[in-house]
Structure 1
């Protein structure tokens, strides 16, 4: 499927029920998978969708988050989600979808700057200092104020896995707004989400008041597709979503980032051995597709309210312009 056809399919599915502001408006969730380092698949879809929204509404200032009530992301999808939802200080998004994707591509070498470690310097990892500085510079307002988790235009959900508690930890604006003990610098939240074990060491972070801490790795290992976490959050958050009683009150757009594991790579290995990085890819793909199947079943009586956009690997060669 080429990109123009993909855009038309997304927009045709969303336009009638999702982009209207009628009395029967449902709570709309945008979920962005982890996977890869550029997020190019989900990012490109978001750029074209935002362009279509502007063309349809005639408003050049329209943003993706204007049409969603909750944004969730894992891994590189978390960084995309955070950039789309970040507040510029005037209640408007700090980044357009195009700006966010351009940042991921232009800053690719800074986010993932290789370093070699180990006795024989054969183990490849990426520089923590480089990615830290890049995220700090991006996730601050024009006046230099660093953003925290509660500084977002719309509710934001970003999962990681906490090695201290051996359990998932979900950063949310709802929790951050309720207590400084659950408010974290936004760059640290994204850094935690990007700490894939095969690429970075675990990332230690604390809340703004220092009372809550975790040792984080990429939440994709347990929640690469964060759509189910977002649905659960909305269903149980009566303070922000009092009118939601069940999935019949939700609309979910879930964007995949393409499969990470390539079957041909394993078929080419005579002994069937898998590298550590390949095992991580398999886990991420498996988690994402399992969540997709679960949500598909949950929305079986109203399938049009759950849209999952995933692509074949051949689309991963597309480059953002």
Structure 2
């Protein structure tokens, strides 16, 4: 009984914190006495679908997330019977930091005929191929340990990010995206946002520059009109786990998400970076890694508690605890990732640490794919749009993009 009482107290404390600070719009009279109840949801209202991908410095960080999304994408195609279905078709907003930010850009940038530039399966293969090229087929090399994407940007016209994204900008993403960095000029986090880019050229940045900023040790970039300058270091410094930022964005962006008034109106899958089983306090890099992992876990636990009883239905976190990048070939790395996905998932609770789930990570991804399909089917039957994504009248185009838009209102 003491355990239940303490857990109830923790939830009551957090409900006050979330109503005032974390998610100011996600409160209810039931959990916060004296606070007006939020407007009721319509019977046909759906849930906003959010994808969040952590940023990390190891090559396996990006590969684990890409492999998870490739598995989910395969399930989506199987369930819908649509062989061309992509991750971007089933999410309304994506947030990514570091390697996760680059993945988000690849999966949500506009490609040929208004379709996503990459499927999750293609993105995974590109990461494997580039890792093989840069490290001679071995993931454990020194150049790769610094991070899968670091060093792939630059002024040379042949660099990888330029080849991938051309001159496309944030306005060319199919859905709202959030990609953070830390701005040394202001001493504060800076979040690159499609919603802001849609409002002003001063907040529209080339996607290749955004990817460079969220992965960089230090890089200078400017908006497409030159008015906004950012002196960026990697997103992991500011928001290694961007899940809370994504949820807050949904709850406050009433133009694009008019019906989202609380966490009950949102469904989230959060993909964590790998976390080593044991740390030593030797060296600044190890201490920094501990600090980043601690911050990402705190966000996970806070968000999990914010969802309360809905965390088993509306919030999924996939975390590879105890997994290190090590060395090996792309084949052995994928075998290791498949092994991780076959392990039971871990769930977090604020002030209570973590517990083992009954489902494996792969089973959890499969279940969430089913929920995404159900949400899509419900929207087709409903006359009430859950999401109203801003349409770009004259999207910026390049060799990697087209001027057409097939984004639809849900």
**TM-score scaled by structure 1?**
0.79
Contact 2:45-2:259 within 8 A present in 1 as well:
no
Larger radius of gyration: 2
Q: Which residue of 213, 222, 225 corresponds with 2:238?
A: 222
CA distance in 2, matches of 1:316, 1:89: 34
Aligned pair 1:284/2:298, yes or no?
A: no
- Offset from partner CA, 1:278-316 (integer Å, 9 cap, x none): 122112211110100110111003121111111223485
- Offset from partner CA, 1:238-286 (integer Å, 9 cap, x none): 1111111111111111011221x442x51xxxxxx42122122112211
Q: Secondary structure at the match of 2:267?
A: strand
Kindly tell me: are residues 129 and 223 of structure 1, through their superposed partners in 2, closer, same or farther at Cα, counting changes over 3 Å? Answer: closer
Aligned pair 1:306/2:315, yes or no?
A: yes
Q: Which residue of 26, 41, 45 corresponds with 2:47?
A: 26
Aligned pair 1:320/2:334, yes or no?
A: yes
Q: Which residue of 171, 182, 193 corresponds with 2:214?
A: 193
Aligned pair 1:167/2:188, yes or no?
A: yes
Q: Cα distance, 1:114 vs. partner?
A: 6.7
Q: Secondary structure at the match of 2:169?
A: coil
List aligned pairs for 1:150-299, cutoff 5 A.
150-195=171-216, 200=217, 202-259=218-275, 261-263=276-278, 265-266=279-280, 273-299=281-307
Corresponding residue number in structure 2 for 1:131: 153
Corresponding residue number in structure 2 for 1:37: 59
- Offset from partner CA, 1:21-80 (integer Å, 9 cap, x none): x94420010001111234121111101110111111110010011111001100000011
CA distance in 1, matches of 2:310, 2:182: 32
Q: Cα distance, 1:91 vs. partner?
A: 2.2
- Offset from partner CA, 1:111-152 (integer Å, 9 cap, x none): 99978xxxxxxxx99997653311111113xxxxx2101101
Kindly tell me: are residues 240 and 172 of structure 1, through their superposed partners in 2, closer, same or farther at Cα, counting changes over 3 Å? Answer: same
Q: Cα distance, 1:89 vs. partner?
A: 4.8
Q: Cα distance, 1:88 vs. partner?
A: 0.9
**TM-score scaled by structure 2?**
0.62
Contact 1:221-1:287 within 8 A present in 2 as well:
no
CA distance in 2, matches of 1:179, 1:134: 28
Contact 2:150-2:215 within 8 A present in 1 as well:
no
Aligned pair 1:62/2:85, yes or no?
A: yes
Aligned positions, number: 274
Q: Secondary structure at the match of 1:307?
A: strand
CA distance in 1, matches of 2:176, 2:246: 10
Structure 1: which 5+ runs fail to align? 1-21, 116-123, 141-145, 267-272
Corresponding residue number in structure 2 for 1:85: 108
Q: Which residue of 76, 80, 89 corresponds with 1:53?
A: 76
Q: Cα distance, 1:219 vs. partner?
A: 1.6
Contact 1:225-1:291 within 8 A present in 2 as well:
yes
Kindly tell me: are residues 247 and 134 of structure 1, through their superposed partners in 2, closer, same or farther at Cα, counting changes over 3 Å? Answer: same
Cα-Cα RMSD: 2.5
Q: Cα distance, 1:192 vs. partner?
A: 0.4
CA distance in 2, matches of 1:219, 1:312: 21
Q: Secondary structure at the match of 2:269?
A: strand
Structure 2: which 5+ runs fail to align? 1-42, 327-331, 336-410
Q: Cα distance, 1:220 vs. partner?
A: 1.1
Contact 1:110-1:130 within 8 A present in 2 as well:
no
Contact 1:65-1:84 within 8 A present in 2 as well:
yes
Corresponding residue number in structure 1 for 2:95: 72
